[in-house]
Chain A
Amino acid sequence: MAKTRKEPDSMVEFVRHRLDSEDLVTAAMIQPLPANIQPSQAFMDKLRAQLLDVTNASSSQTRAA
């Protein structure tokens, strides 16, 4: 009797554990990008200059208004 009561519980635990383990395995496959994927310095400098142009222009507009 005790055995028949225990089995469904164990099965639930087994399935729950199995699902968790599967999730862990799947999650482990999702890797961040390799470290060598980086923006070039030229690109970062160019975009920074562009942003400063835009931010200065909008600050001037705010002051003028």
Chain B
Amino acid sequence: MQENRLAKAEAKLSGRQRVLAWMHRRQQLGGFVETLTRNLETNGASGTAITIEDWDAAFVFECVGYCNIRALELNEAHLEKGLLSLCLSRLLNTSEIPAEEWQIKAFRRALKTFNLKWRLFDRAVQTISDGKGHQGRAAAVRRVQR
């Protein structure tokens, strides 16, 4: 019954709205990894497929997919975080200055890059969401309207 109502509501939505509604629904179901895992476990039976009919919808769908994959890649950096913490702890507990100056500079750079990776992704997602990217959503909409 509810599924029918949802299907009717979905039919009234335009391409991009439909993707956003689908994303919202997926978020309610536990998020990207959760729904994907459930979908695989049930051989596709529990998945809520999305119908993509226009270029704008496909663009938003692909953007979301890429951002989710990038977030998962960054999440897998536990080893990097652990190694940096270990090095930091080692440096905190020694008064011995490394023999080579580049060693501490390289560590500084690694730490800075680790910090930047997260912040850069966060800022990029913000830029895309605000539609401020040079080739952002606004451009995509213009293209579809042409």
Are the chains A and B members of one assembly? no
Residues of A within 8 A of B (CB): none
